[in-house]
A and B are shown apart, each in its own frame.
Chain A
Amino acid sequence: MSVPTTAAPGAPVVDLDLADLRHDPYPAYAELRRTAPLAWVPSVGRHLLTRYDDIVHAEKLPEVFSSREEGSLLLRTVGPNLLREDDPEHRRLRAAAEPPTRPRQVRDQWAGAFERTAHELLDRIAGRGEADLIADFAEPLAAANLALVLGLRNAGADDVAAWSRAMMDGNSNYADDPDLWLRAESATRAIEEAVAEAAAIVRREPDGSVISSMVHAAEPVSLAEIQNNVKVIIGGGVNEPRDVFGVGAWALLRRPDVLDRVLGDPGSWKRVFEETARWVSPIGMYPRQLTRDHEIAGVTLPAGSRVALVIASGNRDESVFERPDEFDVDRPHRPHLAFGGGPHFCMGAWVARHEVSALAWPLVFGRLKGLRPADSPQDRLEGWVFRGLTSLNVTWHTA
């Protein structure tokens, strides 16, 4: 099947500037939802699907909106992996990898270590009175927790965070920069080695980690498959909890009245988490490719068409969420799309929920008294495929 690299007949063509999207994609998305809910965007080389209902429809039809995408940058960066497979291949790999990320495992097996790591990171900065909560706390916490759940005892949080960044850069290397490819390749080679070593150990002594679970899966999984899937999990597994943490903390620091209420009702951190993920989805879109002709949003897409499901836009759809651009932890609950839907529903959802809403936010706001934003111009929300804060500089009282 050849991949059409132009608009489907009848699809509106909308020029969007990638730099504008990176800075703030939401105005463009609002316009697309209103005037062209399925639009071919030449700079992205895909059709963008931007309305909530259409995205949900596509997610529920994985046999039409396939995850197997030809020429995918992710495939080039990490090799074949479960994110770019459909069932039954996807199901075999997912079933092998998933048990350690289920919520009871998170609570019973990982939560204690997550909490210790969070305290250690806070111990390091508590006396300073100022920090960048992304670089000094959220990123190392997410990376350390990820290494633990994956079973990479031979890798430090710094390694995991650096690998993740190198692969993410490769993954969005639309400009084909050879330096970025080289860095991504050296990261993936390092991961392959670390996984091979860990797999050999857990083959003898299972330890409940993702690698261990894959090594001992009922339906066999090869070492190369374990390596590639660990790569893909590292690629996404650091930025999502890091970015939800950062964006939610940033939003609350700017709304002291809301923050006070949340601090008085610890049960409400869960709502803060879901609202943050809705308001700024850390993963803003993902690609699909049509297996056959299919009509959606008034356009018949031919087989092979490339589509981006823009979940960041669906999460701001005014037909579903009132005043969608506002961060409102009290809004009537409607399910957001930030974790994706269908068989690819985010495998890290329960890990992230626990790590951010049960631990990271309550500990940071509980321990760092008088926490305030430093209003640094470097603290910017950035990105559209992946969106988060570049940094979050804060101060607090040390006396």
Chain B
Amino acid sequence: MPIVIFELPDGTQRKVSAAPGTVLMQAAVSNGVEGIVAECGGNASCATCHVYVDDRHTARVGPPNDVEDEMLDFTAAERRPTSRLSCQIGLSDELDGLIVHVPEEQV
């Protein structure tokens, strides 16, 4: 099972293990990671599951898909080159050790 790390705005880290085949947003929500709101339940329509992928991991995670790219223009916290919607990041063993940063605001 991949282990992923959410770094909160105050610098604390939350390490959670995720079932393969789920998405990063689910790993956050089912472990109560603060700051991942995910209003639309993973349908890429709310932009409230925004994360910044750690610079060292962007290549492993890859770029956003088209719908996601559009939603990322409307996140509450600024969009950066490393921005992704966590509901669009599928988890597999290759992403073990992934670090993402949770933005200050989601709505």
Residue numbers of A with Cβ under 8 A of B are: 59-60, 62, 91, 94, 98, 102-104, 274, 333, 335-336, 339, 341-343, 345, 347, 349-350
Contact = CB atoms under 8 A, between A and B. Distances in A.
A103 B67 CA distance: 10
Given A274-B107, A349-B46, A102 B39 contact: no
Contact of B74 (A59, A336, A350): A350
B107 A102 contact: no
Given A60-B29, A342-B40, A343-B43, A335 B48 contact: yes
Contacts of B71: 102-103
A98 B37 contact: no
Nearest to B45: A345
Contacts of B41: 59-60, 62, 341-343, 345
B107 A341 contact: no
Contact of A341 (B39, B47, B70, B74): B39
Contact of A345 (B46, B73, B106): B46
A345 B70 contact: no
B23 to A, nearest CB: 14
Contacts of B29: 60
Interface of B: 29, 37, 39-41, 43, 45-48, 67, 70-71, 73-74, 105-107
A346 B31 CA distance: 25
A335 B106 contact: yes
Given A335-B107, A347-B45, 11 more contacts: A91-B43, A94-B43, A102-B45, A102-B71, A103-B74, A104-B73, A333-B105, A341-B39, A342-B41, A345-B39, A345-B43
Contact of A335 (B39, B45, B70, B73): B39
Contacts of A345: 39-41, 43, 45-46
A343 B105 CA distance: 22
B73 A103 contact: yes
B42 to A, nearest CB: 8
B37 A103 contact: no
